[in-house]
Structure 1
Amino acid sequence: MMQRTLFSRRSGLLAQQAAAAALDVPLAQRLDHRSASSVTIPPPACMLRPLEVPLRYLFGPGPSNVPPRVLAAGAKPIIGHLHPEMYEIMNDIKKGIRYAFQTENNMTLSMSGSGHAAMECAVFNAVEPGESVLIAINGIWGERVAEIAERMGANVHKLEKTPGNYFSNKEIEQAIEKHKPVLFFLTHGESSAGLCHPIDGIGDICRKHGCLFLVDTVASLGAAPIFMDQQNIDILYTGSQKALNAPPGTAPVSFNDRACHKMFNRKTKPVSYLFDMEHLSNYWGCDGKQDRMYHHTGPVSGFFALRESLAILAEKGLEESWRKHKEVAAYLYRGLEDLGLKLFISDKDLRLPSVTTIAIPDGYDWRKLLMYMMKNHRMEMTGGLGPSVGMVMRIGLMGYNCEKSNADMALHALADALKNCKKSKA
């Protein structure tokens, strides 16, 4: 019994001595030991090498090459997303978007995200579960909006055509009369097919039947005329990475008073907190309140770049930007036809100036043509997207890339690919 007691006391004494010895070890050394012993995965070798990004001619449907001036803007020092200086930059962005959209809408801002962010924001705020919506689908973007609306519980109706075809105002009005939607969606610049859809008169039809008119201009803004107020468009959005010539990641959007009345008198909250316009309108200073509250941390550098791209557009002027895109596109069309290639959109008045589609030449594997140009010319062109896969190849000359010299480069690369890529025997 006494022996066990002595052993117990000795064990306790040894434990106290060990604890005291541990206290004599400097704290930093003990933490280093603990940290080192917990790391079992070594640093990846790739992260120990410098970042390398190849130079590419981005002559696809976007993103496009960015002007040095916009790159420099994005490289400016970071400031806080709630600093007064940041609010001033955001106010500049709002004014620039109003000019680009040709609108006086107060509820004008930029989403933190790609064009899809603005797309979802528009649908999530303007539509409630169970409400009827009508989606015009003649390419991938109508398909995307239909899926977004279905996911949030809307009653989705589709007005469909094959890629490259457009909807007459009569067809649109008949579908609206039949389905009585709260919102009608149309893509202005359907980049998957290279179509620029006529807009005039559709907003009037929507107002006549009490539904909102939502328009996607991601691929067309800055390249083809759009007049939000004059054409009675209720919600309009775009993306930063195409003719606007900023890096991907910001998405201008605007809501008129009709759209605001609908989305601010909902019975249910929007399904997304991040895209809730109750919060975003305050964050962007659009709700008339003196204080802006924290909602999320916006992409500060992305907003710098977006502001600069909008400044370039304002300096150039919308009409000059539209004129130049049309001129360079026409120059490209002639060169493509000289190569014996067929333009996918036969009606030149319906062609999207920023993204040109050509029918895949007979006997060629379009993937091999694209791979050849990437490998030998460092040039990106692309195939179709969504329903137009296997139907077209796409060439984008927009914004900074909208130059006849770039059209010549694209034509030279295509001619070289057609010469050196083997045709199938069929």
Structure 2
Amino acid sequence: MKRYAELAPSQRTIMTPGPVEVDPRVLRALSYPILGQFDPEFTSYMNDTMEMLRALFQTSNQWAFPIDGTSRSGIEAVLTSLIEPGDKVLIPIYGRFGNLLYEIAERCGAEVTSIEKEWGTVFTPEEVISAIHREKPALVLMVHGETSTGRIQPLAEIGKACRELGILFVVDAVATIGGVPVRTDEWCIDAVIGGTQKCLSVPSGMAPITYNDIAAKKINARKTIERGLRTLLDSNTDDIINRPPVIRSNYFDLSQLQDYWSSARLNHHTEMTSMLYALREGLRLVLDEGLDERFTRHRLHESALVAGLEAMGLTLYGDPSCKLPVVTCINIPDGIDGESVRNMLLNSFGIEIASSFGSLKGKIWRIGTMGYSCRQTNVLQLLGALEAVLIRHGASIHTGTGLQAALDVYEQK
């Protein structure tokens, strides 16, 4: 029988837009003893998590809890529960993850309409609001921070317009939550999906969400209808057997998950005990640092990184006025093999940066400064290693300047 070596992953400096390095205190929390999911001690941790998520999302919503699964599970749970077949949905797309929202909404049976913006830019609020008035959708779905292009979309005016018109506004904040402000209530957002593996520095495996009473009303109305259909099914199978359930997913049915996360504690699934420990600890660390202080830290290290890259003579991709603070995109210099550079960074220095997708594949590198990865030692090590690797690849850059420019930023802080 084949014998397998003991697991021993390499130590990496991860500077991608996710996943990122996990705070050691979160890793420690993953090793704590398992408790039963209805043990009062464990349910108190569930309550702590909900309370801290409200603070993170800057909301007074009753409903703020994690979906067990990667970030996409949170998106699917919210869209599956909110979108009824035939609902008209508007999706402004300015990167890869807007296309993902489009695909999932179609799978939910929505009548999907999109408007598109050139990658590297975002929409003006007026462009989206004009489309809202023209299309008259039931829901508007938007990405807050597009890691594929390194751009961030202003949301406040769009949310206000949706609220005034009685349109549900749903936001993918997977890349931004915990790294830049996400003001759920102030921006009139009805449902927000976050992620653990980016600015929260928790392993991938949970998707924090929140939604307000407006969204909950639609979810609960569908739940009531579904119960009626089930009753009819029991009494008159021939009339209803071919009709799909009102909420098609059991696992992602927020109406059932509400019962699980409320004081009722009705069993829905076996909670991911260790991941809840990790999320609770990650949230505790975020709030202990302070949201404003955390946002300032992310801005500082972004500034140092950008100063170093530009001092080297590298150019940034995209419109600088809408740059996502936690992701920096670099144009790959002419004649340079981008994948060869990434491989040498990883194999010789243990540093990982990302390539990109679709039309940008092979044209830009993406560097994440997120969560625990967002610290001075990582930025300086990356700049030094990148300079060395680019020299080895024959790139025409200004040597000896990148690190000095970054150090200047840190000394001025």
Do Structure 1 and Structure 2 share a fold, with TM-score over 0.5?
A: yes
- Corresponding residue of 1:362: 334
Does residue 68 of structure 2 align to residue 95 of structure 1?
no
Q: Deviations over 1:293-327 (max 9, x none)?
A: 11011211111000000000111000000001011
Does residue 146 of structure 2 align to residue 190 of structure 1?
yes
CA separation in 1, counterparts of 2:180 and 2:270?
A: 32
Does residue 169 of structure 2 align to residue 213 of structure 1?
yes
- Equivalent of 2:207 in 251, 274, 285: 251
How far is 1:82 from its partner? 2.2
SS in 2 for 1:382: coil
How far is 1:56 from its partner? 0.9
SS in 2 for 1:148: helix
- Corresponding residue of 1:273: 250
Contact preservation (8 Å) 1:192, 1:386: no
Q: Deviations over 1:328-347 (max 9, x none)?
A: 10111100001111111342
Alignment of 1:226-305 (within 5 A): 226-266=182-222, 267=225, 269-285=246-262, 290-305=263-278
CA separation in 1, counterparts of 2:248 and 2:392?
A: 52
- Equivalent of 2:67 in 94, 107, 111: 111
- Corresponding residue of 1:37: none
How far is 1:423 from its partner? 6.3
Contact preservation (8 Å) 1:235, 1:259: yes
> Match for 1:119: what amino acid?
I
Contact preservation (8 Å) 1:370, 1:381: yes
Contact preservation (8 Å) 2:171, 2:192: yes
CA separation in 1, counterparts of 2:65 and 2:38?
A: 16
The answer to which of 258-267 and 134-143 deviates more is 258-267
Contact preservation (8 Å) 1:139, 1:386: no
CA separation in 2, counterparts of 1:176 and 1:388?
A: 29
Alignment of 1:17-416 (within 5 A): 43=1, 45=2, 48-266=4-222, 267=225, 269-285=246-262, 290-347=263-320, 349-416=321-388
Q: Deviations over 1:186-237 (max 9, x none)?
A: 1111111111111221111111222111111111111111210011010011
> Match for 1:317: what amino acid?
G
CA separation in 2, counterparts of 1:415 and 1:422?
A: 11
Q: Deviations over 1:64-119 (max 9, x none)?
A: 11111110001101111222211111111111111110001001110001110111
> Match for 1:301: what amino acid?
S
SS in 1 for 2:114: strand
CA separation in 1, counterparts of 2:394 and 2:261?
A: 55
SS in 1 for 2:307: helix
- List gaps (5 residues or longer) in structure 2: 226-244, 397-413
CA separation in 1, counterparts of 2:213 and 2:332?
A: 45
CA separation in 1, counterparts of 2:363 and 2:190?
A: 33
CA separation in 2, counterparts of 1:417 and 1:251?
A: 36
- List gaps (5 residues or longer) in structure 1: 1-42
SS in 2 for 1:201: helix
Report the CA distance shift for 1:387/1:90 in structure 2 as closer, same or farther (over 3 A). Answer: farther
The answer to which of 398-407 and 308-317 deviates more is 398-407
Report the CA distance shift for 1:332/1:423 in structure 2 as closer, same or farther (over 3 A). Answer: closer
Contact preservation (8 Å) 2:333, 2:395: no
SS in 2 for 1:278: helix
Q: How many residues align?
A: 375
Contact preservation (8 Å) 1:127, 1:263: no
SS in 2 for 1:314: helix
CA separation in 2, counterparts of 1:403 and 1:49?
A: 33
CA separation in 1, counterparts of 2:219 and 2:258?
A: 12
CA separation in 1, counterparts of 2:204 and 2:357?
A: 18
Report the CA distance shift for 1:371/1:273 in structure 2 as closer, same or farther (over 3 A). Answer: same
- Corresponding residue of 1:20: none
CA separation in 2, counterparts of 1:164 and 1:243?
A: 21
Q: What is the alpha-carbon root mean square deviation over aligned residues? A: 1.5
